[in-house]
Amino acid sequence: MSAAPVVVGVGARRGVPAAEVLALIAGSLALGGLAPDAVTALATVDAKAAEPGLTAAARRLGVPLLTYPAAALAAVSVPHPSPAALAAAGTPSVAEAAALTAAGGGPGPDGGPRTGAAELVVGKRTSLPGARATCAVARARTTPHRTEERP
C-alpha cells in the first residue's frame, strides 16, 4: 500500500452500474501501478452522493464515499476541465477535482486554491463503451524529512 493516501475521484451519469465504475477504477489503478487496497476513499460531487452505482462501488471496495459541493470542486485547478461536467454538475471537473480535494489538494481555508498538497497519479479516464463514468486517482504529496548531518 502507498505511504500516502490514495483517493479515487469519480463522476457518473445517472444509472451507471457499479460494475462499470469498479472496472474503470481497477484499470486506472493498474495504470498508476497501484493495488486496489491502496484506495482509502472514493470522492465525488454532492449531487451524486446517493447514486447507487457509486455507493455500491465504495461498499465493494470497503471505503467511504466522500462528497463535495460543486462550488468547492470548481475552485480546484485541474488539467482536464470539461464543458459537459460544468453543464451537468456545475463544476468543470468532478473526477479530478474530487480526487485532489479528498487527497488534500482542494481549496485552502481561505477558499483559494491549495497548491502542492496533492498530486494526480492518474488523470481523468472514462469508462467504455458509452462513457457513463469518469475517474481520476490522486494522493497526498509527502515531504521528505530532512536529516541533519553531524560533524
Q: Would you place residue 142 in the very low, low, confident or very high pLDDT band (cuts 50, 70, 90)?
A: low
Q: How far apart are the first and last CA of the chain?
A: 37
Q: Would you place residue 129 in the very low, low, confident or very high pLDDT band (cuts 50, 70, 90)?
A: confident
Q: Would you place residue 106 in the very low, low, confident or very high pLDDT band (cuts 50, 70, 90)?
A: low
Closest CA to 50 of 63, 65, 71: 65
**What is the C-alpha to C-alpha distance for residues 6 and 39, in angstroms, rounded to an integer?**
5
Taking only the tens place, the pLDDT of each residue in 51-86 is 999 999 999 999 999 999 999 999 999 999 999 889
**What is the C-alpha to C-alpha distance for residues 36 and 26, in angstroms, rounded to an integer?**
7
How far CA 34 is from CA of 1, 9, 139, in Å, comes to: 8, 15, 11
pLDDT, residue 57, reads 97
Residue 112 has pLDDT above 60, yes or no: no
